[in-house]
Amino acid sequence: MQTNPIPPRQPRRSRRRHRGLLWGLLIIAFIAAAAMGALFASNSLLDKSSDDVVEDGLLTAKDKTTIMIMGVDERDDDVGRSDTLMVATLDPKKDHAALMSIPRDTRVKIKGHGWDKINAAYAYGSAKGGPEAGEKLTQRTVEDFLGVNMDHYVVINIQAFQKIIDAIGGIDIDVEKRMYYEDPWDDDGGLIIDLQPGMQHMDGKTAVTYVRYRDEEGDIGRIKRQQKFMKACMDKITSPAIIPKLPNVISEVMSSVKTDLSFRQLLEFAGTLKEAQKNGLKTEMVPGKPLYIDGVSYWIPDLHKLRTTLAETLGITLNASEKAQLDRAQHEYESSIPAGATSSPSTTKAKSSSNTSSAKSSSKSSSSSNSSQSSTSRSTSRSSSEGASEHSTSSSHAGSAHTTAAPAETAPAAPTRSSNTAKTQ
């Protein structure tokens, strides 16, 4: 089967960036700023306008707002990947909120590139048109996959994220087990994660290693740690001790994150999240199961359960036609999975992966001309190696990551989205 390599990275284009805030819960830092003088609008700024245009086929709800939250891992020598993807659904009138995590190994169809892991969308777009194109293709991919319109987005780079954690004075996390992971080919010169079990105070860099730790649970374990991390951030940000640090926190956040939300919308977003926490903030992840295709680990979603859950969260009742379309989408997705897919990595592929990793090591040390190889190819192999090794590593020690070939592309029809009447402009 034909693979679909990501093209070489193009020069970054200068552009004016809209600055905003951070991942879902970190935006709560602005609550204190609001209490110190910022005023909320009399009507909800997060309410939908009747002039909003929604692409035909995407579910939407007038009284709720959806926000795509993306954490991007960009490096000097490649285009990067969307390392974290979440969708926040806010109901500002009832102060309810839900956060859905999308495993980065989720297998989806990316427009123009076939079937791949969802985090590859950012790399594909960035390779053609820079980070902004990567963000747009990621949002388009998330919308197509979920069948739900995204009203807004928030994007943060992992390096900036470290600075924000440092600005709030670090966080306290109870590390659940011994964590050791070493990857000499990762993190611009090598990545070492070395954490002892028990309660620990973490600075930004250490907190990032905790969230990124890879074990036999793969994406599932990482998402559990992300949610545990967010709770620790919530506890720190809502404590009185944060008030003296607010000027520095706000400065770091405003200079580190890109969003299409206005400052006043961000304040209301923060207020809704804070009240939602009191009401019981709902956190969940895309339902599904792990599967290996050509030796590479993917998260295979249960589309029927996923889109039914999202419709309930949005307060939408699917009609008979939409339910039938959803059934067809599930069938088409399942039919696109190659017959050779397995629930565990094959021995043959594991050996091939090891040989590829050795070849990469030899190539890296042989000459500088070889090291100038396409940065996006490194990004693809890094993502594949992470997926191929995560479910087979020991929880006490993970060896160097292995590089595997990009997943083969198939060409079935894209999953059908639920129909919905588009709004008029």
264-323 pLDDT, tens per residue?
777 777 667 767 767 777 888 899 999 999 999 999 999 999 999 998 888 888 888 888
| pLDDT score recorded for residue 381 | 44
Query: Among 12, 177, 147, 124, which residue's Cα sits nearest to residue 136?
Result: 124
- Average pLDDT on 179-195 reads 75
| pLDDT score recorded for residue 358 | 43
- Domain range for 69 is 19-172+235-289+298-324
Split at pLDDT 50, 70, 90, the class of 59 is confident
Whether 367 is covered by a domain: the verdict is no
Whether 79 is covered by a domain: the verdict is yes
Identity of the highest mean pLDDT range in 181-185, 186-190, 384-388: 181-185
**Bigger pLDDT: 1 vs 175:** 175
Over 70: is that where the pLDDT of 259 sits?
Answer: yes
Whether 220 is covered by a domain: the verdict is no
Identity of the highest mean pLDDT range in 27-41, 150-164, 215-229: 150-164
Whether 217 is covered by a domain: the verdict is no
Identity of the highest mean pLDDT range in 161-165, 204-208, 370-374, 415-419: 204-208
Q: Residue 367 contacts by C-beta under 8 Å, 6 or more apart in sequence?
A: none
| pLDDT score recorded for residue 64 | 87
Measured between alpha carbons, how far is residue 420 from residues 56, 61, 110, 317, 320 in Å? 6, 10, 22, 11, 13
**Bigger pLDDT: 186 vs 359:** 186
Split at pLDDT 50, 70, 90, the class of 71 is confident
Paired with 67 in beta bridges are 88, 152
pLDDT in tens, 306-317: 999 998 888 888
- Average pLDDT on 361-383 reads 43
Split at pLDDT 50, 70, 90, the class of 12 is very low
Over 70: is that where the pLDDT of 82 sits?
Answer: no
Measured between alpha carbons, how far is residue 347 from residues 13, 87, 105, 194, 354 in Å? 44, 36, 21, 29, 11
Mean pLDDT of the chain: 69
Split at pLDDT 50, 70, 90, the class of 413 is very low
Over 60: is that where the pLDDT of 73 sits?
Answer: yes
| pLDDT score recorded for residue 418 | 38
- Average pLDDT on 394-420 reads 36
- Average pLDDT on 82-109 reads 86
How many other C-beta atoms can be found within 10 angstroms of the C-beta atom of residue 12?
12
- Average pLDDT on 127-132 reads 90
Query: Among 285, 259, 256, which residue's Cα sits nearest to residue 270?
Result: 259
Whether 279 is covered by a domain: the verdict is yes
For the entire predicted model, the pTM comes to: 0.64
Over 50: is that where the pLDDT of 384 sits?
Answer: no
Q: Contact at 8 Å (CB) between 116 and 2? A: no
| pLDDT score recorded for residue 232 | 82
Query: Among 268, 277, 201, which residue's Cα sits nearest to residue 238?
Result: 277
Whether 216 is covered by a domain: the verdict is no
Question: What radius of gyration do the chain's Cα atoms show?
Answer: 21
Split at pLDDT 50, 70, 90, the class of 16 is very low
- Provide the number of structural domains found in the chain: 1
Ramachandran angles phi, psi of 293, nearest 5°: -120, 120
Q: Contact at 8 Å (CB) between 261 and 20? A: yes
Whether 303 is covered by a domain: the verdict is yes
Over 60: is that where the pLDDT of 3 sits?
Answer: no
365/382 Cα distance (integer angstroms) = 18
Residue written as tokens 């594991």? Answer: 350
Over 60: is that where the pLDDT of 95 sits?
Answer: yes
360/78 Cα distance (integer angstroms) = 16
pLDDT in tens, 217-254: 776 777 788 778 877 887 787 677 777 777 777 777 76
Whether 397 is covered by a domain: the verdict is no
- Average pLDDT on 344-362 reads 49
The CATH number of the domain where 29 resides is what?
Answer: 3.40.630.190
- Antiparallel, parallel or unpaired: β 191-195 and 152-157: unpaired
96/273 Cα distance (integer angstroms) = 8
Residue written as tokens 């809704």? Answer: 272
Identity of the highest mean pLDDT range in 115-129, 158-172, 202-216, 343-357: 115-129
